[in-house]
Chains A and B, each alone.
Chain A
Amino acid sequence: MTESTPSDTNNIEPKECIEARKIREAYPDAILEVKEFRGDTRITIKKEYVPEVIRMMRDDPDLDFNFFSECLGVDYLDPQRGGYILGKKHRFEVVYNLYSLPDKRTGRGRNRRIFIKAAIPEEDCSVASVTDIYPGANFPEREIYDMFGITFTGHPDLRRILMSDDWIGHPQRKDYPLGGERVQFTDGKFGPSVGEGVVQHPGESFFGKTASVIEKS
């Protein structure tokens, strides 16, 4: 599980960054993967530990990630071949982008950025909301819900944010078809993911009429 990267000279600890060590100390079985790429650290954790780990990132004085930069969703489904790309065992990831903002007034902050990734399987598309830890997660979580259909339990106002309220399907999922929009805003009768509304779209991006909510029609 522990990765030793000899090129990692930024940290005093030669083996792992302080964030990963702290998580391991507090929650021994939370971490799935720690990855370093071009100086950025990405820690994949089990989704059950999201609120605890994010809270620790903010509250631990050694970590001090005071600034909530954003969070985003990623879908790893390979729509043409089936299965997930890059050897992932889960379909979705929610990436929390936290920043330790160096505040010259108070002397706090380490000028470091961390990416905490929550692994989310397709069967159980939900994760605990972090809006009570960082209120700034409100809009981004709504966007992820809108675009990927991942529900955030405990979110105060989980509605669609960019698409219209009667939209069918979650557009940023990889199996969501491109093109073929005939009529919008008709009480969910038409839309790209409703069978009869689909028009063939010339181009490699069209993967057929598939959507997880097709039964609704």
Chain B
Amino acid sequence: MALNSDQLNPPSLKAEGIQIDPIEDAKMVINMGPHHPSTHGVLRIVLELDGEVILKATPHMGFVHTGIEKEGEYQTYLKAVTLTDRMDYVSASLNNMAYTLAVEKLFGVEPPPRGQYLRVIMCELQRIASHMVWLGTHALDIGAMTMFFFTFRDREKILDLTEMMSGVRMMPSWIVPGGLRGDAPENYVERVKRVIDELPRRFDEYEILIDQNPIWRERTQGIGVITPEECYSLGVSGPTLRGSGVPHDLRKAVPYSSYDHFKFEIPVGEYGDVYDRYRVRMAEMRQSREIIKQALENLPDGPINVDDRKIVPPPRKELDHSMEAVIHHFKIWTEGMHPPVGEAYVPIEGPKGELGFYLVSNGSSYPWRMHERPPSFMNLQALSKMCEGRLIADVVAIIGSIDIILGEIDR
């Protein structure tokens, strides 16, 4: 609080002829970012402060806006898949999945079971990898440096699996409308099994490191509290919503890609603070591992793509003896696929929350409008509410706990 004129100027000072003017407004405005290391990219937050207490936090974004939604309108449906990778770049497979499901909804098709199971395996591996990035950077922000090295070491093994499948570590674009670009390579199942068998030990390691750590608890418990009702009206979803105690998971509520075949639990928090969101994500990693384990055990045989030559190009060996296959091949790679006129939106449970693509088709091979519902973007709206009345140091913990990716916010 600002001192008034009398407090600032005691009689002793007045006698010496010194006059100190009071500050008109006690409020101070400071910029956090855009190059602050804890902003996970380039996010600028304008903080209005009273002393060190935050009155209001206004996020400013758009620094890495690349016009992906606009660009998507000028790419064919198949080519636009590669753009979706670049939105949330730490969980690219899930973006592919959301986009692909929307295109498939326009067509009204669904890939065969093996394709769906392989998609689930890829997505859940990616979810674990995404949560590992979150955990590493979140802990790093709060001051637990070792965590970063631990999680990035283990994430590398998951990226190796993605590379084994698609040839690319981070931007696989392997899930495409109609199924996948190709089947799993030899030994893929064994390799995945080896990695996920090791994971519980790793998770235990993380928890031993920080779970009972008094500094970690001091920095996270009771900080950044948000109630379920606030989450609803702000459109906050995913682990942030579950951290507030709402057992809602789109994999259970609206099952897609045969998620209803797997048994898993929805971890929830109690108080909706930073610590609860941390606990929820830790538990989610274990649940994702359970899903992968079940998917590997019951991985069906058979085709991975839909049997529709208007959506999926014919296999190479057919081109040698079938003129029709050559025509289909030519058509799909030059013109693209033509979904019927209509609009589709399929929400999936992304690592950050409800992730979905809104596609408007006018019957041509280009989407008329491609819009992503970015979970980080919506979740960021809760930032001001969480920060109110807290200290500057807590902002770092709160941003980390919302798990934002600026590539997705700015698109």
Q: Secondary structure at chain B's binding surface: helix, strand, loop or mixed?
A: mixed
Q: B247, B378, B410 — which one has the most chain A CB atoms within 10 A of its CB?
A: B378
- A38–B105 touching, CB < 8 Å: yes
9 closest A-B pairs by beta carbon, nearest first, are A136-B235, A162-B62, A136-B234, A205-B74, A162-B65, A37-B342, A68-B235, A72-B371, A70-B373
Q: Which residue of A lies closest to B364 (CB)?
A: A85
Given contacts A69-B373, A70-B373, A139-B381, contact A97 B358 (CB under 8 A): yes
Residues of B within 8 A of A105 (CB): 228, 245-247
Which of A134, A139, A163 interacts with B233 by CB under 8 Å? A134
Given contacts A40-B344, A95-B358, contact A163 B62 (CB under 8 A): yes
Residues of B within 8 A of A140 (CB): 377-378
Interface string of B226-268 (1 = CB under 8 A from A): 0010001111110000000111100001100000000000000
CA distance A175 to B385 in the complex (A): 38
CA distance A85 to B368 in the complex (A): 10
Q: Is A42 on the interface with B (CB-CB < 8 A)?
A: yes
Given contacts A38-B342, A178-B70, contact A111 B254 (CB under 8 A): yes
Residues of A within 8 A of B74 (CB): 178, 203-205
- B70–A68 touching, CB < 8 Å: no
- A67–B247 touching, CB < 8 Å: no
29 contacts between A and B (CB under 8 A): A37-B344, A38-B105, A40-B345, A67-B237, A68-B232, A69-B356, A72-B369, A74-B368, A74-B369, A75-B369, A97-B345, A99-B347, A101-B253, A102-B248, A103-B248, A104-B246, A105-B246, A115-B345, A136-B234, A136-B235, A136-B236, A136-B378, A139-B378, A147-B69, A162-B410, A171-B70, A172-B70, A178-B70, A178-B74
- A42–B343 touching, CB < 8 Å: yes
Residues of B within 8 A of A68 (CB): 232-235
CA distance A95 to B344 in the complex (A): 12
- B362–A86 touching, CB < 8 Å: yes
- B373–A97 touching, CB < 8 Å: yes
Tell me the A154-189 residues at the B interface (CB within 8 Å).
160-164, 171-172, 178
CA distance A75 to B367 in the complex (A): 12
Residues of B within 8 A of A42 (CB): 343
CA distance A42 to B358 in the complex (A): 13
Q: Which residue of B lies closest to A67 (CB)?
A: B232
Q: Which residue of B lies closest to A86 (CB)?
A: B362
Tell me the A50-108 residues at the B interface (CB within 8 Å).
66-70, 72, 74-76, 85-86, 95, 97, 99, 101-105
Q: Is A28 on the interface with B (CB-CB < 8 A)?
A: no
Q: Is A135 on the interface with B (CB-CB < 8 A)?
A: yes
Q: Is B326 on the interface with A (CB-CB < 8 A)?
A: no
Interface string of A4-42 (1 = CB under 8 A from B): 000000000000000000000000000000000110101
Q: A74-B369, A115-B345 are in contact. List 7 more A-B contacts (CB 8 A).
A: A38-B106, A69-B235, A72-B369, A136-B236, A162-B61, A162-B62, A171-B70
Residues of A within 8 A of B381 (CB): 135-136, 138-139
Q: How far is the CB of B62 from chain A (nearest CB, A)?
A: 4
Q: Is B354 on the interface with A (CB-CB < 8 A)?
A: yes
Residues of A within 8 A of B106 (CB): 38
A interface vs B, CB < 8 Å? 37-38, 40, 42, 66-70, 72, 74-76, 85-86, 95, 97, 99, 101-105, 111, 113, 115, 134-136, 138-140, 147, 160-164, 171-172, 178, 203-205
Q: Which residue of B lies closest to A38 (CB)?
A: B105
Q: How far is the CB of B29 from chain A (nearest CB, A)?
A: 15
- B343–A85 touching, CB < 8 Å: no
Q: How far is the CB of A54 from chain B (nearest CB, A)?
A: 12
Tell me the B354-387 residues at the A interface (CB within 8 Å).
354, 356, 358, 360, 362, 368-369, 371, 373, 377-378, 380-381
Q: Which residue of A lies closest to B374 (CB)?
A: A70
CA distance A168 to B193 in the complex (A): 53
Q: A70, A134, A164 — which one has the most chain B CB atoms within 10 A of its CB?
A: A70
Residues of A within 8 A of B345 (CB): 40, 97, 113, 115
Q: Is B67 on the interface with A (CB-CB < 8 A)?
A: yes
Tell me the B34-91 residues at the A interface (CB within 8 Å).
61-62, 65, 67, 69-70, 74
Residues of A within 8 A of B236 (CB): 136
Q: Which residue of A lies closest to B71 (CB)?
A: A178
Q: Is B184 on the interface with A (CB-CB < 8 A)?
A: no
Given contacts A134-B233, A135-B381, A161-B62, contact A38 B70 (CB under 8 A): no
Q: Which residue of A lies closest to B340 (CB)?
A: A37
Q: Is B341 on the interface with A (CB-CB < 8 A)?
A: yes
Q: How far is the CB of B270 from chain A (nearest CB, A)?
A: 11
Q: Is B185 on the interface with A (CB-CB < 8 A)?
A: no
Given contacts A66-B232, A97-B345, contact A72 B358 (CB under 8 A): yes
Q: Is B17 on the interface with A (CB-CB < 8 A)?
A: no
Residues of B within 8 A of A40 (CB): 343-345
CA distance A86 to B62 in the complex (A): 32
Residues of B within 8 A of A66 (CB): 232-233
Q: How far is the CB of A159 from chain B (nearest CB, A)?
A: 9
Residues of B within 8 A of A111 (CB): 253-254
